[in-house]
A and B are shown apart, each in its own frame.
Chain A
Amino acid sequence: MRVETKRTLKRFFRNPSAIIGVSLLIFFTVVAIAAPLLAPPLNPMDPSRKVHDPFTMPKVTWKQEPVPPTSKADAEKAFIAKGIAKMLYEKEKEDLVPLALKVVENLSSEELYRVYAKVSPLKSKIKEYLKTVKDKLKKAGLENPDTYINSFMTNDFLLACKKALEGDENFPQVLKSLASEIPNLRKTYLIKIFKEGFPYLDYDHAISVSKEFLKVDGNVIDFLMEKGYIKRKPIRCVDYHIFGMIDGRDIFYGVVWGTRTAFRIGLIVTFFATLIGLFIGSISGYYGGWIDEVLMRITDVFLSIPFLVAAIVLTTFLGTGLDKVMIAMVIFGWMGTARLIRGNILQVKEEQFILAAKALGVRDYLIIMRHVIPNTIFPVVIQASMRMGSLVITAAALSFLGLGAPTGYADWGSLLNYSRNWLLGAQGDVFKYWFALVYPGTAMVLFVLAWNLLGDALRDTFDPRLRG
């Protein structure tokens, strides 16, 4: 027996898949454990700002100030000024939709729902109208309607439209509805910004303070302005940010802490899904009869909803968040194990030692625990390790669709989701934002590859059917 074990181990470690897989996994484990050392959950530019939840990637702020504020009151005022400046900046550059989305991001789920209900029809209305406007502008002889379209919703543009379209009977209505929505949204946003920083400050007070500041000291606004950096645009390799930045967040931080997220998702989901599968499969296989029939039909039903679709649906209904994703994946992820275990048990059941144990009157659960499970567990372990990879992919896919990890959470899928928006926009300089895709993408592929290689190697070593 010992010789056999030794030989098996030897065979396992002579398999190149096993070597690569195990090394990669060791590497990722080390990264996950050392995450607080590799990427400390502090804002590297502002070490005083500790992050409460280390999985939330800190927003990086830039300090290029000639004179930092000295008193607490100054700092407070500066913060408000920053908020206003940011808003002004965005008012100029962004159209209504991303602004609304930004609002959405910062709101709780109840608020979100209400805001959403407002934005959604509005958005489509805008889009619908955009086309007709474009056509009419063209007809009116405007040279470059597209540039106007891009800065759509700025006041100048609206005025231009108004001029161009005077006499159109629909236009006034649209304008009216837009006008009624815009201030509301901006107001909400404004309140949000101030509330975050100064919960005790009321709205009017904040406005007056910042107005004062805007008039009095342009310098303060200037040094705190996050112009460009707070934007979502990826930025390559500045200062400490060796992997670059995206969405105002450090990619390196996201990749390192994302390792922890990946392990957490993979291990927890695999563990619980396997446990449920083991339980249902062993009961079904061992008792057979109608219990088996019922349990297997239930399994069939769960298998009838495509995994990704099921995960999307359940995550949507539970509300977003990684824990919800994990719950969804456990609920729709146990069937494979259950079937595997059942099949194996049906095989093992006919073996002599089980019949012997049964004949001796050993209790059922003892037989399952002592005899059946140890004899069927290996395929389950192999399957589990093969599944780790695909689970992590599914979780990332959900994050990618915007259903998984909350904004700013260190998760490879979310990072890839950010990068998606920038890959197509960069006309002319295509690979400008490559790092936003390559770093999290590579981490993810290697992580999945490691588990797949390990599973392959385990199967090659232990599955006698495939042994040469």
Chain B
Amino acid sequence: MEKQPILRVENLKTYFYTEDGVVKAVDGVTFDLYEGETLGIVGESGSGKSVTSLSIMRLLDEKGKIVDGKIIFKGKNLLELSEAEMRKIRGNEIAMIFQEPMVALNPVYTIGDQIMEAIMLHQNVGESKAREIAIDLLRKVGIPEPEKRVDQYPHQLSGGMRQRAMIAMALSCRPSILIADEPTTALDVTIQAQILDLMKELQKEYGMALIMITHDMGVIAEMADRVVVMYAGRVVEYGEVHEIFKKPRHPYTYGLLSSIPRLDVEQEKLKSIPGTVPDPLSFPSGCKFHPRCEFAQERCKNEEPELVEVEPGHFSRCFFWEKLKELEVK
């Protein structure tokens, strides 16, 4: 009865071997991505969400190593592919857009050059044809005067335009998965909304799956079908977006949600999660969230909880998830 996921990440472990020690940036992450859906990955900076996406693309820098796990895309384990096979998938089947459109485009080549490059690489077309496709794409992502823009350099475009160009580049080969790593963080609020709308629209049109990486619960609420909440390299909660928003079963998610200002409910004071993300070189023992958790007890310091299914399709990594249920009743 269950749909076959297009991408399955299983027990992914990505460690960084730095001079100061081993950083377990991603430590046993598991999730599925189904065709056409949007999966949100949310967490503070340093929670391992970007590393997860780079692991999928196998674009980690030299210090980062995937030590364990599987990434199954259309039945193939990406981690077992050769570099040449992987290159055929990158940009073609799985595309990615990055946080800072200012720095993600090469300043010395025109927008057109950079889009055409991917088209010519994967689609086996000539330069003039590629140029046509590029102009079409630019028009599709809502860039005015695409014939002119195609010959412009990145610095001649505004931030929003650049992100649109990035999207055009990512979509150039009609990928089946698009990974968007904080695509709107660096943009103005008004432009953020436009870009998100554009992405939604294009997702529908192309029928692709989208992995949306963000620290912004608002973006998640707007875009995602399902959500993975990450903390310190671990998935702490995982489930349908409605479930998570209405019935958070992990204190961290709870904290994230209550730090969003809401207009519909009267709040005395905006809550925040005390403390900061732990030092990645020396994570606390037991549950990694316990030093910041308002529900923490003795047990949390010594034992790390497993990811348990609290409801069908809704998982939480907390011993005391039921307490949150009680809280909700109040």
Contacts and interface: CB of A to CB of B under 8 A. Distances in A.
* A touching B, CB within 8 angstroms: yes
Interface of A: 3, 7, 10-11, 14, 468
Nearest to B281: A7
Contacts of A11: 19-20
Contacts of B279: 3
Q: In terms of DSSP, what is the predominant structure of the interface of chain B? A: loop
Contacts of A468: 18-19, 61-63
Contacts of B20: 7, 10-11
Interface residues of B, number: 8
Interface of B: 18-20, 61-63, 279, 281
A14 B20 CA distance: 10
A11 B279 CA distance: 17
Contacts of B281: 7
12 contacts: A3-B279, A7-B20, A7-B281, A10-B20, A11-B19, A11-B20, A14-B19, A468-B18, A468-B19, A468-B61, A468-B62, A468-B63
Interface centre among A3, A11, A14, A468, by most B CB within 10 Å? A468
A7 B280 CA distance: 13
Nearest to A468: B63
- Chain A interface SS verdict (over half): helix
Nearest to B61: A468
B26 to A, nearest CB: 18
A11 to B, nearest CB: 5
Given A468-B61, A468-B62, A468-B63, 9 more contacts: A3-B279, A7-B20, A7-B281, A10-B20, A11-B19, A11-B20, A14-B19, A468-B18, A468-B19
A468 B62 CA distance: 9
Contacts of A14: 19
Nearest to A10: B20
Contacts of B19: 11, 14, 468
A264 B299 CA distance: 63
A8 to B, nearest CB: 9
Nearest to B62: A468
A10 B61 CA distance: 23
A141 B62 CA distance: 77
A7 B63 CA distance: 18
Contacts of B61: 468
Nearest to B19: A11
Nearest to A3: B279
B176 to A, nearest CB: 33
Contacts of B63: 468
Nearest to A14: B19
A11 B20 CA distance: 7
A137 B277 CA distance: 93
Contacts of A10: 20
Q: Which of B18, B20, B62, B281 counts the most chain A CB atoms within 10 A? A: B20
A7 B19 CA distance: 9
Contacts of A7: 20, 281
The 5 closest A-B pairs by CB, nearest first: A7-B20, A11-B19, A468-B63, A11-B20, A14-B19
